[in-house]
Structures are given as C-alpha cells and as structure tokens.
A and B are shown apart, each in its own frame.
Chain A
C-alpha cells in the first residue's frame, strides 16, 4: 500500500520531505491533541478522578460561599425591607405635641411619603364593660388613624377614626384584638360600649396590633386630639415611605413637622439597607472566599503535581510521541488540554455541588435561594482556567524532555 504523502514513482522524495505530508505540513491538529488528552484523562481513571475531586472541592467551596452569603443577605434584607426599611419616626420632646392639622399634612406632602400620622401614649387605664365592676388594665394610646395604618395595624372589624371623631371630642375608642377578647367583645354589630373612669365610650373598631409595636398590643386607642389635653407622653410622628425613600424623608421630616425648632425632634431612620447588606455579606464572604481561594490553590497545586508526576510516569509515551512526529508544541498542547479537561470537569462538578450546598443551606433556613447565574457559567470556567494554568509547568517540562532521554527508561 502506498500512502498519500509518498509521491509515486519518485525515489528522491525524502529530499522534499522536510515538512511535507501529501503537500501538507507534518502537524498534530489541535483536535487530535484534544482527543489524545481526553483519551488519557479517560484511560487514567483513578488519577483523573482524584485530581477532579480536588478541583471540585475548591470550586464547590467558592460557589457555596457566594451562594450562601448572597442568600443569607437576601433573607436578612427581606425581613428588614418589610418592616423597618420604610419607616421613619420623629419623636417630640416631652410635653409638646403637634396640633393634628398642619404638621401631618406637611409631612404627607413630602416626596416618597405613603402614610404619615401622629400618636402619643397616655397612662395605662382600667377599662370595664360596665360603669362599675370588673375592669382590665390596658395600655392607652391616642393616634390618628393614618398613624395606625403607618404602624401597619390592620382593621379587623368596624372602622378607623375619622376626622370628626377628634374634632367633636366624641367618646369613641378602638381596641386591639387582645384587649377586645379580654373585655369579651366579639362583635361590633350591636354597638358595644366600654367604661373608663365611669364614662361610656363607643367601640368603633377592632384592629390587629402590628408585630413590632408593643404599645398597640392590649391597648385602648383614643382619637389623637386626646394628646392635646395633657397627661400624655411620647408624642411622635410615624412616616411610612415608599421603598428606598426613607433616608431622604428622614432629612426633611423634622422641618416639615416643626419648622420653628426642627432640631428638637428626634428622628429615627432605618439603618441604610445597602450598608447593612454589605456588612452581612462582606464579613462572611471575605472569610469563606479566603477559604475558597485556599482550596482552589490547593486544587491547582494538586493538578500541577498530578500532571507533573504523570509526565515523569509517561516519559516513554512522550518519547514515543516525539519519535513518531509530535513536536514540542504538540506535547505542550496535549498536556495543557489534559489539565484543562481535569479542571473543567472538576469545575463543573464543583459548581453542581456548590449549588446543591447553597440550596440545602437556604432551604434549611427557609431562605430564598439567591445565586448569580454568572456563577453557574463561572464555576466550570474557573476550573478550566485553574486547570490550564496549573498545567503550564508540567506541560513545558514534558515538552522540554529530550526524546532519547524520555525513551531511556525501560
């Protein structure tokens, strides 16, 4: 049989053979180098899997760290969002309370304000169903209905106060569900009354107290105007803002409420959400990313070491390939491909493990799983890069081997 690169009938073809193979250069194609690398990875199963495990561990740690910290920060900000992130309060100095009209109107006209209202606290009161007889001791508040909405109280029965209740000084109260239960009031249909200091008050509404405001729990609430009559404390304006507006509103609210002496008001703002999140994230992330970097480094050293040992072990193979036409660069490329494949496979497995770890951790804590989709592509890619970089030294060592030296080992 005659091979294509041996030109027929010419006996002097060797003279032209410097770099000729049927008119083409003698050359190991990149694709062949890749196939040879894949065959070596596949054929040397135990060594390959150990190396892959090392990379997978490193990448899994990195992905898991990023995923778990992102999910944790997300969970923190979720809770945080819902309650505090949109709440601003402005506390009046003792003995002063704003008149109901202008102040709260001014605040409501600020950009980003959704609800705003005034409230204050009075002495606890004994409240009964009859003029004389058994009473229960309840926390007493006076509040505009807007304030109660802003505090996120929710109406169960009846209605909120209207402006007329306060202006006329009507004897009306609202109760929270706990207080109503203690007083045995189940329904407002037949207009139940309560007695305070011998005076009757009509119960106009029953509400569920907000989780984070204990002052409205087991409480009787009067219209805000009661605050102006003395005997109150802790007068404050509560502002519910649209998301992200809290910081801005906080800088304006004191002036809007009390233009004469804004500095006398104590304004409470939520901690800045981003700073807070970053705080949570950066602390944990720095720690674990450090760990991940170390495990990646160990994995890289692992690949480098395995590949280097493989080069020593495979000296005859290298010598043989060189003898049969592989150039130094073909050897370099093959070994780079090998370590690259190990890195890529390790990176892919590591990404899967890291995502699983994140999902397990997040589900265990009822968090939303937050994973940057870039990470899913980034993990395998990082493995590939680490693998290839780690392979550079062994690959060059393999290429440097002199064929005679490589073939000397028996």
Chain B
C-alpha cells in the first residue's frame, strides 16, 4: 500500500533544515503502524509526505503502486482526496458548520452527489458514537467529541489509508482509549492506519512500529 525508499525532505531555509533524511519502510493494507520518535525528529514531516500534503526532496514514494513523485498538483490533490484520510492533534472542525456539514466536507470537495452526502455523513457520525449530535455546533461539543467528529470526517469517504498525527495528544486517558478503540476498528482488510505518537500506550496498540530518530525512519525490529 505504502512503500518509501530513502525519502528525504529538506527545508531550503535559510537555515537549511534536513527534517527528514532517510525514510525507508512499507505499510500494508490491514495493518496499523505507529510512528514514534523524539520531538523534532521529523515525524510530522514524514506524515505530511505520506499524506501528499508535502513533497519529498529525495527518494521515491509509491502509494499503491503509483509513483507520487511523477504526479502533477491536481492529481496529487485528487489522489489525496480519494485515498487518504487525516486526523490531526487538533480536530480542526469548522466552527460555522454543524457536525453533519463538517463530516460532509471531504464529500463536497470530492464531488460526491449532494443527495448521497447526508447518508454517508450520518453513517460516519454514528460509527464514532455521535449519532445523537448530528446537527450540533462544534462549540457545544467536548474535546473528545470533537476529535470523534474529526475521525468521522477522516473516514466518511472510506479512504484506503488513514493518517493520524498525535490524534490523542489533546485528550485525557479515557478519551484516548475511546479514540484508540475507534482507530483499531478502522483497520480492515483493505485499509491501513498510520499513527504518529509519542505515547507508549498508543504505540502498544499498533501491530508494527516505525521509529524516527533525527530524520532517519526505519521499522523497529519486533
């Protein structure tokens, strides 16, 4: 599903920063992979590259066989929109939209027919246990609920890969457990989940771990 070979990302600066020097690993469908490492080691940079939000400055990144380095911006956007889902440390819910409209955002930008969106959005919200808050404004939700809206939004279009950057970073332990349960359930036969974290209890849930140290990312021997 994901294959990285000596992927690097250097920010031109000045000063020039080699945030990611060498990432070489694979992620297959049906697995959950944790990316761990100290602060500033390049985890978020790596995840942005995986998410086609940022372009590597060296190496090759194959997403399900497609060499992403050869894609134009429009195709990258399209591939990202159809294949990937994102959960960040902040929920990034749009304050002026209710839960349904927030969750339907990816469908809107994908061009899914308008009639089908509420059905999919409602199903996604129910799957994260928010069936009773469909039309709530985000500012009336708790932090844990907001993050669950973000997860619903990340999966509403059934992405092949779910990318999460510190998804439980803002949550207490109870909400962390709930979110991890959700993520675990999202690992299916044709979907991979990648979670950046520095919390051991998160890493423990993952089948495999990729460790990033000073820009070098490699699978941790089990």
Give me the interface of A with B, judged by CB distance under 8 Å: 1-6, 11-15, 17-21, 24-29, 32, 36, 39-40, 42-44, 316-317, 319-328, 330, 403-404, 407, 410
Task: Mark contacts of B93-114 with chain A using CB atoms, 8 A cut-off: 1 yes-contact digit, 0 otherwise.
Answer: 0111100010001101111101
B88 at the interface (CB under 8 A from A): yes
Task: Pick the residue among B75, B90, B108, B158 that contacts A3 (CB under 8 A).
Answer: B158
B97, A43: Cβ atoms closer than 8 Å: yes
B109, A404: Cβ atoms closer than 8 Å: no
A32, B48: Cβ atoms closer than 8 Å: no
Task: Mark contacts of B74-92 with chain A using CB atoms, 8 A cut-off: 1 yes-contact digit, 0 otherwise.
Answer: 1101111111001011101
Task: Pick the residue among B63, B97, B108 that contacts A32 (CB under 8 A).
Answer: B108
What are the residues of chain B within 8 A of A317 when measuring CB–CB? Answer: 92, 94
B53 at the interface (CB under 8 A from A): yes
Task: Pick the residue among A2, A4, A28 that contacts B108 (CB under 8 A).
Answer: A28
Task: Pick the residue among A13, A24, A42, A327 that contacts B77 (CB under 8 A).
Answer: A327
List the count of A-B residue pairs having beta carbons below 8 Å apart.
124
Task: Pick the residue among B48, B77, B95, B190 that contacts A325 (CB under 8 A).
Answer: B77
Contact A19 to B78, CB < 8 A, known contacts A40-B96, A317-B92, A407-B88: yes
B66 at the interface (CB under 8 A from A): yes
Please tell me the number of chain B residues within 8 Å of chain A, measured between CB atoms.
44
A19, B110: Cβ atoms closer than 8 Å: no
What are the residues of chain B within 8 A of A11 when measuring CB–CB? Answer: 190
What are the residues of chain B within 8 A of A324 when measuring CB–CB? Answer: 80-81, 86, 105-106, 109-110, 153
| B98–chain A nearest beta-carbon distance, Å | 9
B109, A330: Cβ atoms closer than 8 Å: yes
A17, B79: Cβ atoms closer than 8 Å: yes
B88, A24: Cβ atoms closer than 8 Å: no
A14, B77: Cβ atoms closer than 8 Å: no
Task: List the 7 shortest-distance A-B pairs measured between CB atoms, nearest first.
Answer: A43-B96, A325-B81, A14-B64, A325-B109, A324-B106, A26-B78, A18-B75
What are the residues of chain A within 8 A of B97 when measuring CB–CB? Answer: 39, 43
| A332–chain B nearest beta-carbon distance, Å | 14
| A29–chain B nearest beta-carbon distance, Å | 6
A17, B105: Cβ atoms closer than 8 Å: no
| B73–chain A nearest beta-carbon distance, Å | 8
A17, B83: Cβ atoms closer than 8 Å: yes
Contact A15 to B48, CB < 8 A, known contacts A26-B78, A317-B92: no
- A24 to B78 Cα, complex, angstroms: 11
| A221–chain B nearest beta-carbon distance, Å | 82
